[in-house]
Amino acid sequence: MRTDAPIGVFDSGIGGLTVVSEMLKLMPEERIIYFGDTARAPYGSRSAEEIKEFMFQILAFFSAQQVKMAVMACNTMTALGLKLAQEAMAFPVVGVNTGIHAALQASTNHQIGVIATEATIASGNHARTLQSLEHAAVLYPQACPKFVPLIEAGELISPRTEAAAQEYLLPLQKAKVDSLILGCTHYPFIGSLLRQIMGPNVTLIDPAKETAADAYAILAQQGMLAKTGSGSRQLCFSADLKRAQRMAGHVMDLETVQFTKIDLQDFVGYHREEDCVG
């Protein structure tokens, strides 16, 4: 594997761009290929089987791009499929950091909230990470199924988004959480609304920074960081490039970005044994 090979980053839609934005700050010389499955988002209300099937189609796409690493910039796929992907692929696969460590550090009353998709909350991934640390903190999970469709539609500021946020955050306000994990990579797009509702005494934890740092650490450890080059970003989506372009503009400078439409149908029926290690 060459150090100048690209890094694949992916999500169900535009959410993973919040992770790309952090990666660009940390490793600007890397070639990044992003894939957002905007034609089939949201994933978070789908069955585990379907989510894993889509995940492997995306990984097959990245296999064909000969990436040196894939960053699963989606909490839902991370919760349901990260281990499977790590076992199956020939390149390292990094999932979204749970943000639990950062939340514990920020919290003084040890009441921690996590908002995420239905599938992520149902997986218990955040609760398991907290349990494994044997910390006395209490976790308050809240599924927010209305958020991803609203954000994908570009409704970052709208009465519907605000009403959904009020509804979802109320139980967390009642529980007096003092740190709140954004357990879905789409949510930083509405970070200012969430901050406004939770107030100045609650720390919002966006695990994108830790996720980018996790990816960097693995590349550094394997001697796989790009040594030279000014980097490049290719953003691929399965639907509506114009909308994706508008949303990408919220989190990154688009001057040198190339946008491409990808049809994942070419990777349907992908069999793990054929394309992977083992």
CA atoms of 24 and 16, how far apart (whole Å): 13
Question: Minimum CB separation from ligand DGL for residue 225, in Å?
Answer: 26
Q: Are the CB atoms for 213 and 225 separated by under 8 Å?
A: no
How many Cα atoms sit within 13 Å of 123 on the Cβ side?
A: 26
CA atoms of 195 and 197, how far apart (whole Å): 5
Instruction: Give, to the nearest 10 degrees, the angle between helix 75-88 and helix 48-64.
Output: 60
- Alpha carbon of residue 156 to chain centroid: 18
Question: Minimum CB separation from ligand DGL for residue 13, in Å?
Answer: 6
Question: Minimum CB separation from ligand DGL for residue 42, in Å?
Answer: 3
Q: 1 is written with which tokens?
A: 């594997």
Among all residues, whose Cβ is closest to ligand DGL?
44
Q: Tell me the three-class secondary structure of 21-32, residue by residue.
A: HHHHHHCCCCEE
Question: Minimum CB separation from ligand DGL for residue 202, in Å?
Answer: 20
If we measure between CA atoms, which residue out of 20, 69, 21 comes closest to residue 223?
69
Residue placing its CB nearer to ligand DGL in the complex, 99 or 224: 99
DSSP annotation of 234 reads: E
Farthest-apart Cα atoms in the chain, separation: 52
Q: 152 is written with which tokens?
A: 């994908």
Question: Minimum CB separation from ligand DGL for residue 76, in Å?
Answer: 4
CA atoms of 144 and 169, how far apart (whole Å): 9
Residue placing its CB nearer to ligand DGL in the complex, 209 or 224: 209
Residue placing its CB nearer to ligand DGL in the complex, 117 or 203: 117
Q: Catalytic amino acids?
A: 74, 184
Residue placing its CB nearer to ligand DGL in the complex, 151 or 226: 151
Residues that bind ligand DGL (CB under 6 A): 11-13, 15, 41-44, 74-76, 117, 120, 148, 184-186
Q: Are the CB atoms for 76 and 119 separated by under 8 Å?
A: yes
Residue placing its CB nearer to ligand DGL in the complex, 12 or 161: 12
